[in-house]
């Protein structure tokens, strides 16, 4: 019986080439999209599962709750906590601290900029990072040993086996010699713990900052700590034991307070976070929100649903053509369930074909998708064995989703009605029309959303953020002798094409970090203020606008001691006054003291963060001993090539042992919107594919409508209808559906995008023309698609149509 079903299914596929093509192509595209998004989701959920002891590895986090703050955790461990846990809890088999830092590497007389992670010797007992060369037992035993990844070994030495070779590393002011003790396999993309170079924690134990943090249980220096619990330990789910531990080392936190303020009611505790939870837990700083994955799966599901709807509507549309077969089968004794099985077999066969084609398509599209998703995914069944079951499940689901309704409808035909030709089925029943409308609701909704996202993105990129970010080069001067800056400035600033050089201890744009301090506002409340220590000409070179007071002046000695220029937000938030009146005001520091910072000028607000944030209070000052970490060079407009060459050559002359690393500030600001860019691209692709698939379905339906209405068309033509009238007759119904879809999609898209825009402090207004444009586009595409079939039907010889009847 099964053989018979499959044989018939093959024949039907072969006989209805256009419809089969539409179905297989549509479902393949749907499955390809879904597989890619599924791969992304599986990858995101697979983080850190590759460690052999993954079930027993936990990260130490500090959890805060109470007061006005949202409950949440921080992964920054205090230096002495991990060793104390190892000492106090017999459940802790190993504890390991990780401290990252950027550094220069001198290898084979070349200098590279990278990062180094210092780890306790237990590192390889806790984590599974196999070494290609070297021994995990001894790799971190000496303070000047370093483990290097295979990728970095190849980059620095051109070969992987570099154990025993030496490199010079500079993390502070001077290069130090290290011996390579191991070469690690490249770190999997789905690892939360990453390193390029791995040094021994012992190397930094004498560092002043580390020593200070070792004795100060409240000081964090950007360190993370992990523990490996012994098998069977329940420490992670025993908050009481962790609470006792906290009481032991933080007794002050538990002393009764007199009249505690809201802020003091905040309670901190230690928690152990499973390593597999790190990547996808947004309540701990740095964790991702899983809702993005669901959004992706929803988008992919929408595309797949559109493809499945094509199958369903086309199968129903074709039902008139299959009615006789069904009738005869029933007369011959077929039961309904046998017919359902037969039709489902056809949809499963199609689904299997589409799955194979879809997976091939997905493999081809993977590089593009990786670019879009900013990931390095691969269809590796060994890394993601669950993919096998998920893909089989997907194939079955598609078969069921696409084939169920037609199977139920077709198998319900009464043989007597079929054989008497009394049955009226086809592409125009209410269910089919609803499905087509749903397809276009989804497609139109996605296109409207994409346009609004792109508009917001363009708005954020183009908005005047309060500084001139164009033609501004930012050079990294971390770990460079501070005397270099004046020399470099001197050498560069008077050259053609250079209009200004300045420096700051802080960078600008995405990933540059911030520093700040607390000040009391005029009500006495504590307010955070972001600080920018820069050179005298910082504000001018940046193109910021001074709206009151004056700029820093090298001739005034007090400008390097207590003078600050502040932004409008600071004046408004801290002082509650006007910029003019703010001049001369002394800021009150967190301890309530005045006199250390006097306002000499007020600038317009500048958006130093992305535009989802309001501008926070900000101050600029000129430290007496400026220690720049970034030099900014303002280029004159035009081709930057020769100017960059000048900057690079000058750098090489002055700083031969450090690479020339630069970036354009406008690009650094654009990088704030990487997520928005990614999401608008993904939504755009999904929207484009959706409308394409929906039109493909429409093309098939129009063809079927023309076939099902052959007699009507023939009669109308005999009675004098023109080609345009007949084409209009067929197109009219579809245009009605698209219009209905537009009416449904418009408020839905408006609602979702209005909510989305609320997360931006600076945002666009949704314009009516976006809906009109999308609607017009959808109708145009649909009419064009349908017209091809309609005109073909209208131009056919009516005599032939009537003779057939």
Q: Does 232 bind other proteins (CB under 8 A)?
A: no
Binding to other proteins in span 381-440, by CB under 8 A: 415-416, 419
Nearer to other proteins, 408 or 743 (CB): 408
In the list 336, 482, 581, 678, the residue contacting other proteins (rule: CB under 8 A) is 336
Q: Does 707 bind other proteins (CB under 8 A)?
A: no
In whole angstroms, give the CA distance from residue 659 to residue 662: 10
Least Å distance between CB 313 and other proteins? 21
Select from 214-222, 328-336, 466-474, 613-621 the region that touches other proteins (CB under 8 A): 328-336
In whole angstroms, give the CA distance from residue 453 to residue 740: 24
Q: Does 11 bind other proteins (CB under 8 A)?
A: yes
Q: Does 1 bind other proteins (CB under 8 A)?
A: yes
In whole angstroms, give the CA distance from residue 305 to residue 34: 10
Nearer to other proteins, 13 or 570 (CB): 13
Select from 7-15, 605-613, 713-721, 762-770 the region that touches other proteins (CB under 8 A): 7-15
Nearer to other proteins, 8 or 356 (CB): 8
Q: Does 461 bind other proteins (CB under 8 A)?
A: no
In this structure, what DSSP letter does residue 466 have?
A: S
Nearer to other proteins, 8 or 131 (CB): 8
Select from 330-338, 438-446, 520-528, 715-723 the region that touches other proteins (CB under 8 A): 330-338
First to last CA, the chain: 34
CA 52-55-60 angle, 5° bins: 110
In the list 333, 513, 641, 720, the residue contacting other proteins (rule: CB under 8 A) is 333
Nearer to other proteins, 331 or 556 (CB): 331
Strand order through the sheet with 618-621: 546-549, 598-603, 563-567, 618-621, 526-533, 516-520, 588-589
Helix locations, 231-335, DSSP H: 239-249, 291-317, 319-331
Burial status of residue 554 (CB atoms within 10 A of its CB: 0-12, 13-18, 19 or more): exposed
Q: Does 482 bind other proteins (CB under 8 A)?
A: no
Nearer to other proteins, 421 or 711 (CB): 421
Hey, how many other C-beta atoms are within 10 angstroms of the C-beta on 447?
Answer: 25
Least Å distance between CB 416 and other proteins? 5
Nearer to other proteins, 335 or 593 (CB): 335
Least Å distance between CB 714 and other proteins? 21
Work out whether the CA dihedral 356, 360, 365, 369 comes out positive or negative: positive
Nearer to other proteins, 21 or 554 (CB): 21
Q: Does 507 bind other proteins (CB under 8 A)?
A: no
Q: Does 208 bind other proteins (CB under 8 A)?
A: no
Helix locations, 374-423, DSSP H: 386-411, 415-419
In the list 134, 327, 775, 798, the residue contacting other proteins (rule: CB under 8 A) is 327
In the list 166, 335, 464, 627, the residue contacting other proteins (rule: CB under 8 A) is 335
- Residue 65 and residue 59 in contact, taking contact as beta carbons nearer than 8 Å: no
Secondary structure of 128-141 as H, E, C letters: CCCEEEECCCCCCC
Nearer to other proteins, 320 or 766 (CB): 320
**Could you tell me how many residues of this chain bind other proteins (CB under 8 A)?**
23
Least Å distance between CB 441 and other proteins? 35
Nearer to other proteins, 4 or 247 (CB): 4
In the list 177, 331, 645, 772, the residue contacting other proteins (rule: CB under 8 A) is 331
Least Å distance between CB 326 and other proteins? 10
Q: Does 18 bind other proteins (CB under 8 A)?
A: no
Least Å distance between CB 335 and other proteins? 5
User: 618 φ, ψ to 5°?
Assistant: -150, 145
Q: Does 325 bind other proteins (CB under 8 A)?
A: yes
Q: Does 332 bind other proteins (CB under 8 A)?
A: yes
Nearer to other proteins, 337 or 652 (CB): 337
Least Å distance between CB 304 and other proteins? 29
Q: Does 800 bind other proteins (CB under 8 A)?
A: no
In the list 152, 203, 329, 717, the residue contacting other proteins (rule: CB under 8 A) is 329
Q: Does 581 bind other proteins (CB under 8 A)?
A: no
- List residues bridging with 546 in a β-sheet: 603
Q: What is the dihedral of CA 615, 617, 621, 623, to 10 degrees?
A: -110
What is the separation of C-alpha 59 from the centre of its chain, rounded to a whole number of angstroms? 24
In whole angstroms, give the CA distance from residue 504 to residue 524: 30
Hey, how many other C-beta atoms are within 10 angstroms of the C-beta on 486?
Answer: 14
Work out whether the CA dihedral 351, 357, 358, 359 comes out positive or negative: positive
Strand-strand pairing, 92-107 and 166-170: antiparallel
Select from 199-207, 334-342, 432-440, 770-778 the region that touches other proteins (CB under 8 A): 334-342
Helix locations, 184-238, DSSP H: 208-215
Name every residue whose Cβ is closer than 8 Å to that of residue 379 and which is 6 or more positions away in sequence: 35, 39, 359, 362, 363, 366, 387
Q: Does 15 bind other proteins (CB under 8 A)?
A: yes
Name every residue whose Cβ is closer than 8 Å to that of residue 462 and which is 6 or more positions away in sequence: none
Least Å distance between CB 15 and other proteins? 6
In whole angstroms, give the CA distance from residue 77 to residue 73: 11
In the list 334, 434, 650, 710, the residue contacting other proteins (rule: CB under 8 A) is 334
In this structure, what DSSP letter does residue 190 have?
A: T
Select from 11-19, 176-184, 656-664, 699-707 the region that touches other proteins (CB under 8 A): 11-19
Least Å distance between CB 334 and other proteins? 5
Nearer to other proteins, 321 or 543 (CB): 321
Provide long-range contacts, Cβ within 8 A and 24+ apart, for 215-223: 215/80, 217/78, 217/80, 217/81, 217/249, 217/250, 218/78, 219/78, 219/79, 220/76, 220/77, 220/78, 221/79, 221/99, 222/76, 222/99, 222/100, 223/76, 223/77, 223/78, 223/79, 223/97, 223/98, 223/99
Nearer to other proteins, 337 or 463 (CB): 337
Least Å distance between CB 21 and other proteins? 18
Nearer to other proteins, 330 or 469 (CB): 330
- List residues bridging with 664 in a β-sheet: 473
Nearer to other proteins, 128 or 338 (CB): 338
Taking alpha carbons only, the member of 432, 394, 421 closest to residue 304 is: 394
CA 659-191-373 angle, 5° bins: 80
Nearer to other proteins, 83 or 321 (CB): 321
Q: Does 80 bind other proteins (CB under 8 A)?
A: no
Burial status of residue 77 (CB atoms within 10 A of its CB: 0-12, 13-18, 19 or more): buried
Nearer to other proteins, 324 or 383 (CB): 324
In this structure, what DSSP letter does residue 617 have?
A: P
| Element counts in the chain: helices (H) and strands (E) | 24, 22
In the list 209, 328, 556, 761, the residue contacting other proteins (rule: CB under 8 A) is 328
Taking alpha carbons only, the member of 72, 95, 50, 66 closest to residue 281 is: 72
Nearer to other proteins, 170 or 329 (CB): 329
Q: Does 634 bind other proteins (CB under 8 A)?
A: no
Select from 123-131, 324-332, 491-499, 505-513 the region that touches other proteins (CB under 8 A): 324-332
In the list 128, 338, 341, 434, the residue contacting other proteins (rule: CB under 8 A) is 338
Which residues here bind other proteins, judged by CB under 8 A? 1, 4, 7-8, 11-12, 15, 324-325, 327-336, 338, 415-416, 419
């Amino acid at each position: 019986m099964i053989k018979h079903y499959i044989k018939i299914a093959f024949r039907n596929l072969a006989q209805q080439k256009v419809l089969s093509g539409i179905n297989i192509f549509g479902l393949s595209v749907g499955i390809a999209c879904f597989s890619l998004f599924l791969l992304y989701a599986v990858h995101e959920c697979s983080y850190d599962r590759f460690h052999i002891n993954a079930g027993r590895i936990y990260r130490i986090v500090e959890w805060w709750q109470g007061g006005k703050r949202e409950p949440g955790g921080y992964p920054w461990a205090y230096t002495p906590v991990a060793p104390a846990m190892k000492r106090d809890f017999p459940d802790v088999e190993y504890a390991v601290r990780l401290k990252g830092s950027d550094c220069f590497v001198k290898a084979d007389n070349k200098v590279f900029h990278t990062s180094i992670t210092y780890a306790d010797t237990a590192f390889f007992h806790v984590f599974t990072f196999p070494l290609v060369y070297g021994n995990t037992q001894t790799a971190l035993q000496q303070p000047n040993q370093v483990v290097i990844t295979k990728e970095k070994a190849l980059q620095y030495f051109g070969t992987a086996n570099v154990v025993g070779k030496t490199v010079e590393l500079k993390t502070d002011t001077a290069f130090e010699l290290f011996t390579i003790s191991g070469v690690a396999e490249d770190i999997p993309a789905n690892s939360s713990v990453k390193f390029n170079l791995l040094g021994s924690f012992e190397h930094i134990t004498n560092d002043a900052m580390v020593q200070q943090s070792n004795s100060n249980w409240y000081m964090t220096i950007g360190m993370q700590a992990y523990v490996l619990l012994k098998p069977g330990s329940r420490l992670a789910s025993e908050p009481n034991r962790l609470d006792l531990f906290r009481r032991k080392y933080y007794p002050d936190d538990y002393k009764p307070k007199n009249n505690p303020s809201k802020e003091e009611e905040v309670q901190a505790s230690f928690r152990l976070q499973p390593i597999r939870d790190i990547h996808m837990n947004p309540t701990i700083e740095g964790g991702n929100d899983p809702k993005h994955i669901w959004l992706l799966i929803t988008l992919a599901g929408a595309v797949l649903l559109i493809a499945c709807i094509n199958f369903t509507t086309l199968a129903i549309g074709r039902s008139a053509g299959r009615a006789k077969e069904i009738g005869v089968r029933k007369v011959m004794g077929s039961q309904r369930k046998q017919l359902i099985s037969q039709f489902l077999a056809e949809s499963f066969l199609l689904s299997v074909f589409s799955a194979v084609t879809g997976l091939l398509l997905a493999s081809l599209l993977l590089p593009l998708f990786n670019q879009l998703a900013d990931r390095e995914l691969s269809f590796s069944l060994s890394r993601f064995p669950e993919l096998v079951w998920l893909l089989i499940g997907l194939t079955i689901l598609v078969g069921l989703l696409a084939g169920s309704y037609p199977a139920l409808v077709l198998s319900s035909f009464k043989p007597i009605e079929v054989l008497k030709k009394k049955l009226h089925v086809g592409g125009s029943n209410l269910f089919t029309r609803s499905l087509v409308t749903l397809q276009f609701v989804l497609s139109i909704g996605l296109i409207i959303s994409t346009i609004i996202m792109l508009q917001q993105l363009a708005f954020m990129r183009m908005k005047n953020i309060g500084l001139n970010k164009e033609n501004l080069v930012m050079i990294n001067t971390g770990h460079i002798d501070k005397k270099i800056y004046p020399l470099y400035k001197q050498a560069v600033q008077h050259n053609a094409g250079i209009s200004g050089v300045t420096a700051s201890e802080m960078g600008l744009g995405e990933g540059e970090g911030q520093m700040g301090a607390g000040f009391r506002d005029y009500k006495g409340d504590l307010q955070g203020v972001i600080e920018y220590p820069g050179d005298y000409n910082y504000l001018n070179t940046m193109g910021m606008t001074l709206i009151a007071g004056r700029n820093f002046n090298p001739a005034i000695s007090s400008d390097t001691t207590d003078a600050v220029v502040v932004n409008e937000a600071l004046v408004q938030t801290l002082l509650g006054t006007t910029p003019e009146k703010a001049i001369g005001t002394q800021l009150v520091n967190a301890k309530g003291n005045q006199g250390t910072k006097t306002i000499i000028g007020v600038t317009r607000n500048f958006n130093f963060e992305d535009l989802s944030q309001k501008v926070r209070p900000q101050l600029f000052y000129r430290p007496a001993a400026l220690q720049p970490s970034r030099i900014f060079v303002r280029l004159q407009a035009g081709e930057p090539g020769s100017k960059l060459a000048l900057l690079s050559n000058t750098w090489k002359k002055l700083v031969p042992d450090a690479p020339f690393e630069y970036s354009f500030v406008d690009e650094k600001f654009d990088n704030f919107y990487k997520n928005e860019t990614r999401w608008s691209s993904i939504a755009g692709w999904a929207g484009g594919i959706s409308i394409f698939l929906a039109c493909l379905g429409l093309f098939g339906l129009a063809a079927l409508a023309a076939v099902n209405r052959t007699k009507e068309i023939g009669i109308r033509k005999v009675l004098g209808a023109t080609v345009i009238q007949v084409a209009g007759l067929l197109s009219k119904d579809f245009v009605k559906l698209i219009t209905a879809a537009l009416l449904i999609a418009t408020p839905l898209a408006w609602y979702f995008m209005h909510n989305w825009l609320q997360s931006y402090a600076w945002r666009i207004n949704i314009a009516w023309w976006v809906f009109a444009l999308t609607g017009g586009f959808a109708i145009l595409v649909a009419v064009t698609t349908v017209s091809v079939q309609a005109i073909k039907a209208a131009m056919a010889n009516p005599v032939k149509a009537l003779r057939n009847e």
